[in-house]
Structure 1
Amino acid sequence: MAQSLKNLKQDFVSNLTGGTINEINLVTAVAPATYILYAALQTRLGFFKSYGPLQFIADFLLSAAAPLFSTTLYSSFPLLLNLLIVSPAILLRLGQPRNTKRPAKPKPQDVEKEASSAPEFSKKPFITVYRGSMMTITCCAILAVDFRVFPRRFAKVENWGTSLMDIGVGSFVFSSGMMNAKSVVKGYLVKCASEPLGARLKGAMRTSLPLLVLGIVRLIMVKGVDYAEHVTEYGVHWNFFFTLGFLPPLLAILQSVLPAASRMGISYTFAYTLLSLVTAVGYQIVLEKTGLEAFVLVGDRNKFGLISQNKEGISSFAGYLSIFLAGMATGMYTLPQDTQSQRFGLLKKLGGWSLFWTASFIITKERWGFDLAVSRRLANLPYILWVASFNTAQIAAFYLIERGYFRGAEYSDAVPKVLEAFNRNGLAIFLVANLLTGLVNVSINTLEYGRIAAMGVLTSYILVLTLLAVELDKRNLSIKL
């Protein structure tokens, strides 16, 4: 009976074809929509100035529950949900005077001093909201996918196509790459000498080791309890933690080209973009010209032992590396502290790079250019460009909202505490989400739960994660994995 249930759950997430990109954009637009309502409540009413139980409930509903409902009960009506969320914000903007006081503009000498000093890394609200929103919707999806209330078109695609969970995986890697750019900005933009390769590799291994350990622990747990697995996702033994864990060492090696780029006058944004594109295009050529694509999709899983058993994870690693590099390129111009006079320049950069990645994606897309279909399983060229396009557009949207509502406001006023908490301990919360997902699946038959019962479980689950994240943040704890 247990084996039969395992097979049913495996079939439930297998052989899926996904949905449309337009629908994915509408569903994920709930994040900018809720940020608009948060901003309206804060700037017009000062609602979140003092943070008590009422504010936490409102924050939870906007930051965590809304993404859950967008991907489940409102999955067929995402535009309606977004309109319901944004409408009160429009009314507040039209009928209520602004409540946020703007600080005085810095004196000319202060701006000059700021521009000539080393790059600063004060927190930016739009980046925190982007990363926190990405984490909440990812945590919602990894358990919701096991219930029938979560549409099958949102679950990971088997071979070709696009889905909500496919963009979620890529976004996680893109976001990680974006934040990894901080160390490069610190090292190179302040004209420090480049670290030798050995030192970079040593630091990379310190970052990788905890992730690889998590990957091994997850593998042992999954095999130990005979947990239902979707083998074609990464392979028999490979999992997402291994992908994350192997990225830093390879990146440390690739960073050796940066001094040469600097001597040639190439900015690091362009250098990482070029590295990303060279990796993506080179990988796509290998897929098509060597038979690797056919081997990954239909090849014998036992032909080459461990390699063929984990062919998806090993092959797609090149694609995720390209996404990571694209994220680093984005971090190079979004992370450094911008002066008052540079802020419009950041908006132009975000808009320009978003258009670049979107145009590149359209060129490679089937029927539009090179007739290439998106494949998350392969992490091929169109998938890489789609992930970069989606994430830069999301970041630009959050930045526009921040500029429209919070220019000159304090960081703490401009960021929902729930999203701040999810961003601060993102990887730790993601690990707990994985553990809770496993616990729920071994405790109940998720396939038998109707809409109301499923939403009860899912809401309780995301509430537990939110309470944990907020409590860690309240205690000023940052868990580094």
Structure 2
Amino acid sequence: MDLLERPLNPNKHLKEEFVSNLTGSSMLEIAALSTIFPALIVLRKWSSFCRVNGYAREEEAKKDDNLTSCRKDWRSFMVSLFMDYFCVVLPILSIITVLAEWAYVCTILLILILSICILFKRSDFCYKKGSQDSSSLKGVISSYRVFVVVVTCLCILAVDFKIFPRRYAKTETYGTGLMDLGVGSFVVVNSLVSKQARNFKSMSWMEALLSVSPLVFLGFARLISTRGIDYQVHVGEYGVHWNFFFTLAAVSILTSFISIHPKYCGIFGVIVLTGYQTCLLCGLSEYLISNERNANIISANKEGLFSIFGYWGMYLVGVYLGYRVFFENHSSVKDNSIKFATAKVWAVFTLFWFLTIILDNYVERVSRRTCNLAYVTLVFAENFQVLSILTLAELAFAKRNLVLEDAFNQNLLGSFLLANILTGMVNLSVDTLSASSITAFTILIGYSFVLSVVVGLAWFYGLKVKFW
């Protein structure tokens, strides 16, 4: 009888307090982490393409998402997958936990290694020299999408342990935590490679509703499941009922219903963001960060509902940048156009870091909770910094993705859902707040390894999570 009456999550309130009232890290440390993570991917790509292995890939891109373009050998696949895990995933996990105090040292070390490799023109002897083509940009975007999902999956469980620095967790009101960039990065990822950015024909209203219905379903599934098992939820993040999936669905619906040509999305997005920021400065921001929650549904979910305008503006600007940087005039395989696109990526990330510093100091401090203008520019600055570093991989003319990249890229949503399920299982079975550093790191290694292997095997056997 006592077992039946025992709550599933007895430490719920303690866990909620553990991720509350945090102020975040510095922008410099965010920039350092945004250098370390993609640098690890670049170095792994260079090392893997500088040796001969039994992992053969067809040169032509795959034409069907359900079919892989690889002729896979089990042994070579497992070796490549394990090497990718130990060279990319495990170091990232270490940086955000046991090596967090060495972040700046690791940044300087990796920059030196990258610089030495570039100075010695590694591309001259790594692989047969060739010319860059449009597939180069596709490879960079693919790596970038996987990077966002992998880092997010590692953080969502690590944050529940004391081994994860509190400054990396989501901030309460103002500040710059590593995890604050999560939802914004997903919005930017989706916008840069969206159908709008590629200037495809816009969908009808019914098609748009059908396309976002999985996100709405997942949003309600998360709401019901967290309530059902009494799982910890930080109300100040999105509100009482709102969550990450509802935000993505709302942004997608707004973008689909208000169809704008990608060349005009930039100016329209700036208008939305400027108008929203003006409202924040005129009193809306004070309301959103207050503890006031009346009985009505809007007040209960004020952060999630009002921040939609910020994320929508962010998405529109992302569509414009994706169109201008990656898809406009890049259908031809001209070396100069690819170099120009790469230069634009570096210019954009520099510009957005400059804007972020100005806005944070003279307009309003960065706030993920309200998704204000400074937060939007910070997300773009961090994401384009990652993209700019990933372009360095193309110096070796390595057109192949890592096995881990192909695996996660095939099941981005599936891998994120699996990570959430595993995170919930760990939280319900382990007292994460009392776990020692050794225990916590061991659990995180096991979690990340299982996630990587399961996602890798799903790709190997051609399994893909689909709704319709």
Q: Does 1:272 align with 2:252?
A: no
Q: Match of 2:189?
A: 175
Partner of 1:130: 144
Q: Structure 1 pair 27/48, CA: closer, same or farther in 2 (3 Å)? A: farther
Query: In the TM superposition, what are the counterparts of 1:403-418 in structure 2 within 5 Å?
Result: 403-406=394-397, 409=398, 411-412=399-400, 415-418=401-404
Deviation at 1:90, TM superposition (A): 6.9
Alignment of 1:309-324 (within 5 A): 309-324=300-315
Q: Does 1:69 align with 2:94?
A: yes
Residue 58 of structure 1: which of 78, 83, 105 is its match? 83
One-letter amino acid of the counterpart of residue 357, structure 1: F
2:408/2:455 contact within 8 Å kept: yes
Counterparts of 1:134 and 1:43, CA distance in 2:
23
1:21 maps onto 2:48 in alignment: no
Partner of 1:185 in structure 2? 198
Residue from 230, 242, 246 that aligns with 1:242: 246
Checking the alignment, whether the CA contact within 8 Å between 1:40 and 1:92 is kept in structure 2 is no
1:426 maps to which of 387, 412, 430? 412
Root-mean-square deviation (Å): 2.5
**Alpha-carbon contact 1:233-1:377 (below 8 Å) kept:** yes
Counterpart for residue 396 of structure 1: 388
Change (3 A) 1:249 1:27: same
Aligned residues of 1:376 and 1:383 also touching (Cα < 8 A): yes
- Offset at residue 324 of structure 1 (A): 1.6
Distance in 1 between the 2:54 and 2:106 partners?
Answer: 23
Task: Note if contact 2:34-2:382 (Cα within 8 Å) is conserved in structure 1.
Answer: no
1:225 CA drift (Å): 0.7
Aligned-pair distance for 1:460?
0.9
**Conserved in 2, the CA contact under 8 Å of 1:156 and 1:165?**
yes
Change (3 A) 1:251 1:421: same
Distance 2:109 2:352 in 1: 31
Verify the 8 A CA contact 1:425 1:478 in the aligned structure 2. Answer: yes
Q: In structure 2, what is the equivalent of residue 252 of structure 1?
A: 256
- Tell whether the 8 Å contact from 1:42 to 1:49 is kept in structure 2 after alignment: no
Q: Is the 8 A contact 2:171 2:368 kept in 1?
A: yes
Instruction: Kindly indicate whether residue 436 of structure 2 is the aligned counterpart of residue 450 of structure 1.
Output: yes
Tell me, yes or no, if the aligned pair for 1:13 and 1:156 is still in contact at 8 Å: yes
After TM superposition, the score normalised by the length of structure 1 is: 0.84
| Distance in structure 2 (CA, Å) of the matches to 1:54 and 1:363 | 47
For the 8 Å contact 2:191–2:197, the answer to whether it is kept is no
Of 267, 280, 297, the residue aligned with 1:287 is 280
How far the C-alpha of 1:34 sits from its partner, in A, is: 1.0
Check 1:121–1:275 CA distance in 2 against 1; reply closer, same or farther (3 A cut). Answer: farther
Per-residue CA deviation, residues 37-65 of structure 1 (Å, 9 max, x unaligned), is 21331343345856344332221112211
Give runs of aligned pairs for residues 131-146 of structure 1, distance below 5 A.
131-146=145-160
Task: Work out whether residues 63 and 136 of structure 1, in 8 Å CA contact, stay in contact via their aligned partners in 2.
Answer: no
- Residue 344 of structure 1 pairs with residue 339 of structure 2: yes
| Distance in structure 1 (CA, Å) of the matches to 2:153 and 2:87 | 15
Distance in 2 separating the partners of 1:338 and 1:389: 28
CA contact (8 A) 1:10 1:230 kept: yes
Deviation at 1:476, TM superposition (A): 2.6
C-alpha change, 1:122 and 1:201, in structure 2 (3 Å) is: farther
Residue identity in the other structure for 1:250: L
> For the residues of structure 2 that align with 1:159 and 1:99, how far apart are their CA atoms?
48
Partner of 1:44: 50
Partner of 2:167: 153
1:264 counterpart residue number: none
Partner residue of 1:190?
Answer: none
- Using the TM superposition, give the Cα deviation of residue 288 of structure 1 relative to its aligned residue in structure 2, in angstroms: 2.1
Deviation of 1:210 (Å) = 0.4
Correspondence for 1:364 = 359
Cα drift, residue 349 of structure 1: 1.9
- Contact 2:50 2:126 (8 Å CA) reproduced: yes
Q: Is the alpha carbon distance of 1:346 and 1:338 closer, same or farther for their aligned partners in structure 2, counting shifts above 3 Å?
A: farther
* Alpha carbons 1:276, 1:325 under 8 Å: kept: yes
1:74-121 CA-to-partner distances (Å, cap 9, x unmatched) read 111013334566777777775986131134799xxxxxxxxxxxxx88
Partner of 1:113: none
Give the Cα–Cα distance (whole angstroms) in 1 for the partners of residues 301 and 280 of structure 2: 16
**Pair 52,429 (structure 1): closer, same or farther in 2 beyond 3 Å:** closer
Conservation of the 8 A alpha-carbon contact between 1:121 and 1:337: no
Please give the alpha-carbon distance, in whole angstroms, between the structure 1 residues aligned to 2:168 and 2:445.
18
Q: Given the alignment, which residue of 335, 346, 367 partners 1:375?
A: 367
Tell me if structure 1 keeps the 8 A contact 2:132–2:338. no
- Identity, % of aligned pairs? 31
Determine which of 378, 381, 397 is the counterpart of 1:386: 378
The answer to whether the Cα contact below 8 Å between 1:207 and 1:245 also exists between their aligned partners in 2 is no
**1-structure distance, mates of 2:24, 2:114:** 32
Aligned residues, how many?
A: 436
> Partner letter of residue 213 of structure 1?
F
Structure 1 window deviating more from structure 2 (444-453 vs 463-472): it is: 463-472
**TM-score, with structure 2 as normaliser:** 0.86
Unpaired segments of 5 or more residues in structure 1?
Answer: 107-119, 188-193, 259-267
Q: Which 5+ residue runs of structure 2 have no aligned equivalent?
A: 1-5, 57-75
**Does 1:462 pair with 2:453?**
no
Q: Residue type matched to 2:408 in 1?
A: F
Cα distance in 1 between the residues matched to 2:10 and 2:419: 25
Q: Cα distance 1:81–1:245, how it changes in 2: closer, same or farther (>3 A)?
A: same
Counterpart in the other structure of 1:217: 221
Q: 1 CA distance for matches of 2:137 and 2:24?
A: 36
